[in-house]
């Protein structure tokens, strides 16, 4: 696992700064949460890390790799995957087919091998199918593996979205509000899976989440954004006692 270092990034849209000189040091193997009021820049930051946006200024490093101007495809190949706030699933396909499609980037063989389906193609297909089945089992999606995603409850669809990201075998997983719109039971499930992903799959996690109770319970470190700037960071205890954080965020509740 590698550390992720965000170094003084600024993201501007037509003269408006969505992010202003944001710096973060994401330690490997930890759950780092990013919190802040609506419009604080949390999703914009994830977009920069995952390659959907490119910072106007500053740099982002994953270990020794500079991903500042990388495409989403290149970022994925570095070992970084993302589960989106708005579901990025194929609603007309089954859970299994959604996960197999997400895993297709790992299928590297020639057109001839693919056409004749022998040797390397057959072996890689079997290995990737086995990996997807492992993710289905890990995320407790076995009862839904053949179900059409669009027919599933919102909570299960969100779980499939996390599973989709896991099929990429990430070392760093970005979770963008995975519990938004969920009931208490569904939130408890996602919290459990998040902890299991960290511990059992040894994955670094960056979590954007509005539920402060969840954030304080499971985070190793927290960064707080407000109007595109970092106004506080540290352990949950340090952040909870930070006057700037209380004024800008916690004080709103």
- Domains observed in the chain: 4-79+170-252 (3.40.50.300), 91-156 (no CATH)
Cα–Cα distance for residue pair 21/96, rounded to 1 Å: 41
Q: Are strands 172-176 and 57-62 parallel, antiparallel or unpaired?
A: unpaired
Cα–Cα distance for residue pair 236/9, rounded to 1 Å: 24
Token reading at 65 = 């790799």
Residues paired with residue 222 on neighbouring β-strands, in sequence order? 33, 234
Q: What is the reported pLDDT for 54?
A: 96
Q: Report the pLDDT value the prediction gives residue 82, as an integer from 0 to 100.
A: 94
Mind listing the pLDDT tens digit of every residue in the chain (253 residues)? 899 999 999 999 988 999 999 999 999 999 999 999 888 999 999 999 999 999 999 999 999 999 999 999 999 999 999 998 777 799 999 999 999 988 876 555 444 444 555 556 667 778 888 999 999 999 999 999 999 999 999 999 999 999 999 999 999 999 999 998 899 999 999 999 999 999 999 999 999 998 989 999 999 999 999 999 999 999 999 999 999 888 876 555 4
């Amino acid at each position: 696992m590698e550390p992720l270092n965000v170094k003084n990034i600024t993201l501007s849209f037509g003269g408006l700064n969505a992010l202003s000189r944001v710096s973060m040091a994401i330690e490997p193997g930890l759950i780092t949460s990013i919190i802040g009021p609506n419009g604080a820049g949390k999703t914009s930051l994830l977009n920069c890390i995952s390659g959907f946006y490119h910072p106007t200024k500053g740099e982002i490093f994953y270990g020794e790799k500079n991903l500042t101007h990388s495409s989403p495809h290149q970022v994925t190949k570095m070992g970084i995957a993302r589960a989106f706030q708005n579901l990025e699933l194929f609603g007309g396909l089954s859970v299994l087919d959604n996960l197999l499609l997400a895993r297709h980037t790992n299928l590297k063989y020639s057109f001839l091998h693919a056409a004749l389906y022998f040797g390397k193609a057959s072996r890689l297909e079997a290995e990737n199918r086995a990996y997807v089945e492992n993710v289905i089992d890990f995320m407790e999606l076995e009862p839904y593996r053949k179900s059409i995603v669009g027919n599933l409850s919102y909570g299960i669809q969100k779980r499939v979205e996390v599973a989709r990201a896991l099929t990429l075998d990430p070392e760093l997983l970005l979770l963008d509000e995975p519990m938004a719109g969920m009931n208490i039971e569904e939130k408890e499930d996602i919290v459990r899976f998040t902890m299991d992903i960290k511990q059992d799959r040894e994955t670094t996690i960056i979590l954007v989440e509005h539920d402060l109770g969840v954030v304080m319970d499971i985070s190793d470190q927290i960064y707080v954004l407000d109007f595109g700037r970092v106004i506080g960071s540290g352990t949950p205890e340090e952040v909870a006692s930070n006057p700037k954080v209380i004024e800008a965020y916690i004080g709103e509740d």
